[in-house]
Amino acid sequence: MPLGFVDPPAPFSPLPAPRQLAWHELEFYGFLHFTVNTFTNREWGYGDESPAVFNPTDFDPDQIVDAAKDGGMKGLILTCKHHDGFCLWPSRYTEHSVKNSPFRRDVVKEISEACARAGLKFGVYLSPWDRNHKDYGSPEYLVYYRNQLRELLTNYGPVFEIFFDGANGGDGYYGGAYERREIDNRTYYDWPNTWQIVRDLQPNTVLFSDAGPDIRWVGNENGIAGETCWATSNRDDFSPGNADVARLNRGDRPGTHWVPAECDVSIRPGWFYHKLEDSQVKTPQQLVDLYYSSVGRGASFLLNLPPDRRGRIHDNDVRALREFRRLVEATFATNLAAGARISASNSRGGGRDRRFVPGNALDGSRHTYWATDDDVRTPSLTLELPREVSFSVVRLREYLPLGQRVEAVGLDQWQNGQWEEFGTATSIGNCRLIRGPRITTSRVRLRVTQASVCPAIAEFGLFAEPV
């Protein structure tokens, strides 16, 4: 049959922008927390640290980037300026930077170039709160902040994400004032116009904050998305630093905008390197669990790796991360459903249009999908395997350009001549991993039990975690 036999399903709004679709494909990337705190052994610098303290003894951007790459990360976001105000690049707008440290090198440049060499994306964290700057709290500071944003977006190549932190603790050095400064975080940064600078300079960058506009905080720093986690949010109810964490964790359905969640969490207890925490690096198994609670719930996994005082990633972190990658790859390298015969209770246009046939859910591509007729919202999809297989993970993906369409599904296995339910899930979106004990069967069925419109399923896969 020629294409065009039947129209594709109408998109279900809100929809992702192309920059968000590209971001969804990354799934796992890293954070680098590095500044004066690394040398003062603190988590939040006060802003009165001398640039002289920043002096890595053996800085190796390639070692840092390779550690991330070996762990399976697709990008790295660097704290170019944390709350203490110290800049890892020689900003024209302040003396409080690497240019006045004994180190003198441009860390932002070196990390961004190492990312480019290794094929990783590069992202930027620029703390809105600045405990060093004398003007913090007045309108002049916003001019400074925006100038810095322009520097980072013009001089360091493509930036895939900017992380806008909502944290604001009040007191600081502030150019010697040593006082408490309160701002109204809904209005002070004039976010719409600040964000517009990014849009103008790099339209493909995704903007992260509690309020998006592109990616939202997941509401905790433990790496755990809600068991139900929608890719959509009523983002205008929030501003950075001003949000309901329970709603961020779960999203809003149907929601006014596409603003999927990002799960930021550190591989150690702290965000910055502390020698005392060398023995508290998360284990590979703990990292795997976090993968399931973030990527497996439609969010992304942003894992922090803190460079140490040498300016390298500590061996313990490198090893844990590498083993994590091995475990994830061992699970997902083989789709046990690949050779199955797949059939559906309904396929759009009577199954004659190749764009919507069930086999599209098995071709390993998130760009093709199986869809049903408009009035069929609770169809089923059945895999008949050539022989019994043992699996412990089911992976589902929706075809995101048509929006988040499915609310809930059930999964059945064929056992003793009948169907037996072994799992249920809500909110599919980019990826839903249903993980359980090993199941051995020759037939598996996906039932869509609730959907707002006819489903468009891009993937239905079966995998086995290594024992």
Shortest spacing between CB 269 and ligand FUL, in angstroms: 12
Decide: is 160 part of the binding site for ligand FUL (CB under 6 A).
no
Decide: is 167 part of the binding site for ligand FUL (CB under 6 A).
yes
Q: What whole-number distance in Å separates Cα of residue 70 and Cα of residue 300?
A: 18
Decide: is 130 part of the binding site for ligand FUL (CB under 6 A).
no
CA atoms within 13 A of residue 86's CA, in its CB half-sphere: 29
Decide: is 86 part of the binding site for ligand FUL (CB under 6 A).
no
Decide: is 308 part of the binding site for ligand FUL (CB under 6 A).
no
Q: What whole-number distance in Å separates Cα of residue 185 and Cα of residue 169?
A: 11
21, 401 contact by CB (below 8 A): yes
Q: What whole-number distance in Å separates Cα of residue 368 and Cα of residue 370?
A: 7
Site string for ligand FUL, 22-61 (x = CB under 6 A): ---------------------x------------------
Residue 15: how many other CB atoms lie within 10 Å: 16
Decide: is 84 part of the binding site for ligand FUL (CB under 6 A).
no
Q: Which is nearer to ligand FUL, 130 or 264 (CB)?
A: 264
Q: What whole-number distance in Å separates Cα of residue 394 and Cα of residue 400?
A: 19
Shortest spacing between CB 22 and ligand FUL, in angstroms: 23
Q: What whole-number distance in Å separates Cα of residue 455 and Cα of residue 347?
A: 10
Residue type, 10: A
With residue 446 as reference, give the H or E element that holds it: strand 432-451
Shortest spacing between CB 167 and ligand FUL, in angstroms: 4
Shortest spacing between CB 218 and ligand FUL, in angstroms: 12
Decide: is 165 part of the binding site for ligand FUL (CB under 6 A).
yes
Nearest alpha carbon to residue 6 among 352, 345, 343:
352
Nearest alpha carbon to residue 436 among 454, 460, 462:
462
Measured from each CB, the residue nearest to ligand FUL is 167
CA angle 39-28-244, nearest 5°? 80
Task: Please state whether the peptide bond connecting residue 455 to the residue before it is cis, i.e. omega within 30 degrees of 0.
Answer: no
Decide: is 271 part of the binding site for ligand FUL (CB under 6 A).
yes
Decide: is 143 part of the binding site for ligand FUL (CB under 6 A).
no
Decide: is 164 part of the binding site for ligand FUL (CB under 6 A).
no
Decide: is 245 part of the binding site for ligand FUL (CB under 6 A).
no
Shortest spacing between CB 92 and ligand FUL, in angstroms: 25
Shortest spacing between CB 432 and ligand FUL, in angstroms: 26
Decide: is 210 part of the binding site for ligand FUL (CB under 6 A).
no
Decide: is 391 part of the binding site for ligand FUL (CB under 6 A).
no
- Count residues near ligand FUL (CB under 6 A): 5
Shortest spacing between CB 168 and ligand FUL, in angstroms: 9
Decide: is 161 part of the binding site for ligand FUL (CB under 6 A).
no
Nearest alpha carbon to residue 316 among 363, 372, 274:
274
Residue 237: how many other CB atoms lie within 10 Å: 13
Residues making contact with ligand FUL (CB under 6 A): 43, 165, 167, 264, 271
